[in-house]
Amino acid sequence: MTEIERHSYDVVVIGAGGSGLRAAIEARLQGKKTAVISKSLFGKAHTVMAEGGAAAAMGNVNPNDNWKVHFRDTMRGGKFLNNWRMAELHAKEAPDRIWELEHWGALFDRTKDGKISQRNFGGHEYPRLAHVGDRTGLELIRTLQQKVVALQQEDHRDHGDYEAYLKVWPETTITRLLVKGGKIAGAFGYVRETGKFVVFEAPAVVLATGGIGKSFKVTSNSWEYTGDGHALALLAGATLLNMEFVQFHPTGMVWPPSVKGILVTESVRGDRGILLNSEGRRFMFDYIPEVFKEKYATTEEEADRWYDDPDNNRRPPELLPRDEVARAINAEVKAGRGSPHGGVFLTVVGRMPGGAEEIKRRLPAMHHQFKELADVDITKEPMEVGPTCHYVMGGVEVDPDTAAAVVPGLFAAGECSGGMHGSNRLGGNSLSDLLVFGRRAGLGAAEYVDSLGDDRPVPDQEEIDYAVAEALAPFERKGGESPYAVHADLQQTMNDLVGIIRTEKELQLALEKLEELRARAAKVSVEGGKGYNPAWHLALDLRNMLLVSECIAKAALERTESRGGHTREDYPQMSPEWRKVNLICRLVGKADDPRVEIKRQEMEPMREDLLALFDVEELKKYMTPEELPAGMRAAAGAEEDDK
């Protein structure tokens, strides 16, 4: 009989990045016995890759900034497909979450008068990103970890046990959520070092597992990003929202091959960096979309003046939202004006008033990264960069206020939750997003546990036995294919057919190939034991990556328009009708062979007080006339008559 270790908690948080730690901290502050499950080592969360800063309208650098401006920028960046309530909560609460971090010990760069410094970033009207050089994500993680340790020290003082109310499980993977009577009852997984199976009995689970990037060949994401939270939610009966929207960060390293895909932070462009093609020309002026033309400079002279006088000049087009910059780079490469290794040039040489020393001071990680990994000195020569799969806007469908999924007891925050960013995430919004909704998820989970009283669902042994058999299956199969071969073909398929530019023909071909890969994955076999066996780990991760990839491909085929992180070459325009539609993924069919089903769901109309924050001319670019408030419709009609 298989040995299974059992533990009981109030709240289990899956993922130890920024959103997971903030959720766990909040659950513990509410008095709940909480477990944090980390797939990797504690402290090795992908949050550290968010280098540029955390967006929060504190107004420290420009006093004109406020939550309303931040809300507008977020909605514009997401092409108005955002869950507007999430965007509102985020814009209002982000400053409090940053000040909270500061109170907990986070160190930020400072303005001359001692306030938290804020820098420019793509899509943000004002300097808004609180930062620590270009290592902001690392400081955030360090601060949250230290808060966890501080709470554990309190528990040791009060209860004689550091882990009485908050325990971290490092290098532990969850393979199934346990459901009883339609409600969350716990989670099943294994300890990666030993292979020992573990059951966590808990009435509330918070998914904070990050993204899906390892389904793509070229990605900034680390090995943990295999879509675990997305897949676990689907398999538990929850729904995913708008999975077609995948962000390709415009500036990943393209040379040398050993570092291809590693991120070059947007703060390089926020700190005067410019993009050049092989002709030495700043090409971004050629790619300013109509909806953004009022906000962005059309000459190099105006663009450069903006850094010192933003009130009287328009923004450089290098600071357009990421989806726009990525498509522009892709277009330049396709036109034969790319760099020698298939990207473009990003340079800060001669761009900062303080010269080389200021570059090193403001961008220390970038200087070190390029010098050590690519033998490029960014103070003297340009970087070669290009689009890399970076972030998925789609994720678990959640209630904006509580972060609750449709399955009672299930919550999600951070990148694995959907809605907040619409069709495209603005840089810097992720770090503040995970703080705002990590806290709300932890609070929502605690309140849900309180609502149950003593009536907590208990996992069925039958479901645990199924999870065990599923996990052991790759060992039972003999002579099967290597999981590495299947994974490589999956990555190539997604990169070639479901990448930055999509067509109906290629998406249909992708779905055919995914079906073939599903059949191959069902036959993979591994050798050896359960104790730290990377092939076994990958064999189990394949299920998640294939499910998520199917969601992305099917949703991308369904949405016949181009918007944000979804570009259809055969449908190049945004559609006001499609803007009102969310695409919902759910699983149907047999439990051992589930299939992804796509349904259309109409968006809830935005409140009129929030619509009033925008000019009618801007709203007309995104919305149908009947969506506009009566007063705006009348004004728009009068303007048309005047023409």
| Architecture in CATH of 494-602 | Up-down Bundle (1.20)
CB atoms within 10 A of CB 621: 16
What is the CATH number that goes with domain 253-387? 3.90.700.10
Q: For the chain, which residues make up each domain, given as ranges?
A: 4-245+393-461, 253-387, 494-602, 615-639
Supply the pTM of this predicted model.
0.91
The angle at the Cα of 417, spanning 218 to 240, to the nearest 5 degrees, equals 90
pLDDT at site 123: 87
135 versus 87: which is more confidently predicted? 87
Tell me: the pLDDT tens digits for 577-594?
A: 999 999 999 999 888 889
pLDDT at site 50: 77
Res 256 pLDDT > 90 = no
The angle at the Cα of 286, spanning 281 to 291, to the nearest 5 degrees, equals 150
415 is in an annotated binding site: yes
390 is in an annotated binding site: yes
DSSP annotation of 389 reads E
pLDDT at site 634: 61
Least confident of 66-75, 561-570, 621-630: 621-630
Sequence-distant (≥ 6) Cβ neighbours of residue 515 within 8 angstroms:
none
| Enzyme catalytic residues | 322
Sequence-distant (≥ 6) Cβ neighbours of residue 16 within 8 angstroms:
24, 36, 37, 38, 40, 42, 45, 168, 170, 208
Q: Is 575 helix (H, G, I), strand (E, B) or coil?
A: coil
249 is in an annotated binding site: yes
255 versus 455: which is more confidently predicted? 455
42 is in an annotated binding site: yes
Helix, strand and coil in the chain, % to nearest 5: 40, 20, 40
233 is in an annotated binding site: no
Tell me: the pLDDT tens digits for 543-562?
A: 999 999 999 999 999 999 99
CA distance 341 to 255: 7
Banded pLDDT at 197 (limits 50, 70, 90): very high
pLDDT at site 222: 86
297 versus 51: which is more confidently predicted? 297
CA distance 45 to 20: 10
Does residue 127 have a cis peptide bond before it, meaning omega lies within 30 degrees of 0? no
Alpha helices, DSSP H, located in 182-276: 228-235, 267-270
The domain made up of 4-245+393-461 is a member of CATH 3.40.50.300: no
Tell me: the pLDDT tens digits for 289-314?
A: 988 888 899 999 999 999 999 889 99
Q: Are 261 and 499 in contact (CB under 8 A)?
A: no
Banded pLDDT at 542 (limits 50, 70, 90): very high
pLDDT at site 521: 97
Tell me: the pLDDT tens digits for 403-448?
A: 999 999 999 999 999 999 999 999 899 999 999 999 999 999 999 9
Whether the domain at 4-245+393-461 and the domain at 253-387 fall into the same CATH topology: no
Q: Are 56 and 95 in contact (CB under 8 A)?
A: yes
Give me the count of residues in the chain.
643
Measured in degrees and rounded to the nearest 5, phi and psi for residue 89 equal -60, -45
pLDDT at site 635: 59
50 is in an annotated binding site: yes
Tell me: the pLDDT tens digits for 208-234?
A: 999 999 999 888 888 899 999 999 999
pLDDT averaged over every residue in the chain: 93
pLDDT at site 580: 94
pLDDT at site 642: 52
Cα(first)–Cα(last) distance of the chain, in Å?
A: 80
Compute CA distances 78 → 63, 74, 296, whole Å: 25, 6, 17
Give the pairing of strands 197-201 and 4-8: parallel
Compute CA distances 5 → 454, 468, 474, whole Å: 23, 12, 21
CB atoms within 10 A of CB 260: 18
Res 357 pLDDT > 70 = yes
Mean pLDDT of the 525-539 span? 96
Res 23 pLDDT > 90 = yes
Dihedral, 342, 343, 344, 346 alpha carbons, nearest 10: -140
430 is in an annotated binding site: yes
Burial of 312 (0-12, 13-18, 19+ CB in 10 A): exposed
CA 604 to chain centre: 23
CA 393 to chain centre: 6
